Structures are given as structure tokens and as C-alpha cells.
């Protein structure tokens, strides 16, 4: 009888865990793509990274045809989060960006410049990637490609930025 109680507790715990995991997966839309609407211009994104005079680095986002902004005040319902928000004054998409260092999501970005502490980096080669996202955290795509910019940096090299990839570049020149 005692083993039956333990088995019942284990099965119940497993089922509840699975249900909670499944609900979380259904609600997590942050890794889903959202296509730039046909009536909106395609955003462009380029990055510049410069060594900070005190410590770490300063990351500069150069966006074109995109409004980096905080989500609208108040709660957005799921349908609003899953769609495009367009600035009525200029027709540009609105949203924020996500910062990844070495493939790990670090934070959201709502402006064009931010400081990156040196503690986020390992010695040698690192990657700094930024994606453009809607207010529901879905990443923007255009022409079937994610709108992303990535810098490959090496703090042990004479030239800090060793390679850059931009799916829709805005033509920022190297700052290093």
C-alpha cells in the first residue's frame, strides 16, 4: 500500500510538471518568427562596438526604418502581442531588440546605445548578436531571413571586430 501511495505521488507530480511545461511552451512565443508586413518598409540593423574608456564596451545600434520603443502602457492582449505595431507617423515597425552574447540572451534593448560590462565576455573570441523583435518578443523576418546583426570580436587581437554579419545592414562603418 505504501508503494502505491509513492507511485501515485510520482505519477501526479510528473503529470502536473508536464502540464505546466506544456502551458509554458504554448505561451512562449519569443522564438517564433513574425514576417514584416507587406505595407511596412523592411528594417535595417547594423552594430558598432567600441571599447569603453572605463571598462567593458559600448554597443551602438544603427537602425533604419524601425522604431525602438518600450511596449505601450497597459496590458497587451495575446493577439496584439502576436501582430505588428506600426508607428502611424512614419509607417515604421515598432518594437525592441534582444541582445545575445555568445548565444546567451542577456537583455532587451529599447534604445540605440548601451554599456556592456566586461564580465559578460570571456577572453578571446566572443559573439555579440542583436535581433529586432515585436512587442511580443517574436523576431522579425524579411524575405525569409531573420533580421539580425552579429559581431565577432577578439579582445586578444589588434582589431577588436574580426567579422561582422548583418542580414539587412544599415551600413555602419567599423568604429575600432
Cα separation of 90 and 113, whole Å?
22
Q: What is d(CA 147, CA 32) in angstroms, rounded to the nearest whole number? A: 13
Residues 6+ apart with CB under 8 A from 162: 125, 152, 153, 154
Give the pLDDT of residue 19: 47
Return the pLDDT at 53: 95
> Which residues 6+ apart lie within 8 Å of 118 measured at CB?
55, 56, 57
pLDDT number for residue 7: 58
Q: Which residues of 94-116 are buried (b: 16+ CB within 10 A; e: fewer)?
A: bbbbbbbbeeeeeeebeeeebeb
Q: What is the pLDDT of residues 51-92, one digit of tens each?
A: 999 999 999 999 999 999 988 877 777 777 788 989 999 999
**In the CATH scheme, what is the code of domain 33-166?**
2.60.40.10
Q: For residue 9, what pLDDT is reported?
A: 64
List per-residue pLDDT tens for the chain, 176 residues long: 666 766 566 555 555 444 444 444 444 555 799 999 999 999 999 999 999 999 999 999 999 999 999 888 777 777 777 889 899 999 999 999 999 999 999 999 999 999 999 999 999 999 999 999 999 999 999 999 999 999 999 999 999 999 999 999 997 555 54
The pLDDT, as a whole number, for residue 20 is 44
Amino acid at each position: 500500500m505504501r508503494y502505491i501511495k509513492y507511485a501515485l505521488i510520482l505519477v501526479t507530480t510528473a503529470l502536473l510538471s508536464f502540464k505546466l511545461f506544456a502551458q509554458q511552451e504554448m505561451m512562449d512565443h519569443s522564438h517564433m518568427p513574425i514576417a514584416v508586413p507587406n505595407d511596412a518598409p523592411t528594417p535595417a540593423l547594423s552594430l558598432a562596438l567600441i571599447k569603453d574608456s572605463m571598462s567593458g564596451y559600448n554597443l551602438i545600434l544603427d537602425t533604419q526604418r524601425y522604431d525602438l520603443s518600450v511596449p505601450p502602457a497597459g496590458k497587451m492582449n495575446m493577439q496584439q502581442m502576436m501582430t505588428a505595431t506600426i508607428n502611424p507617423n512614419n509607417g515604421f515597425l515598432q518594437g525592441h531588440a534582444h541582445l545575445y552574447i555568445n548565444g546567451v540572451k542577456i537583455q532587451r534593448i529599447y534604445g540605440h546605445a548601451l554599456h556592456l560590462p566586461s564580465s559578460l565576455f570571456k577572453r578571446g573570441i566572443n559573439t555579440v548578436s542583436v535581433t529586432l523583435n515585436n512587442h511580443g518578443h517574436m523576431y522579425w523576418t524579411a524575405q525569409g531571413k531573420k533580421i539580425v546583426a552579429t559581431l565577432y570580436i577578439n579582445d586578444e587581437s589588434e582589431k577588436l571586430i574580426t567579422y561582422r554579419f548583418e542580414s539587412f545592414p544599415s551600413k555602419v562603418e567599423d568604429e575600432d
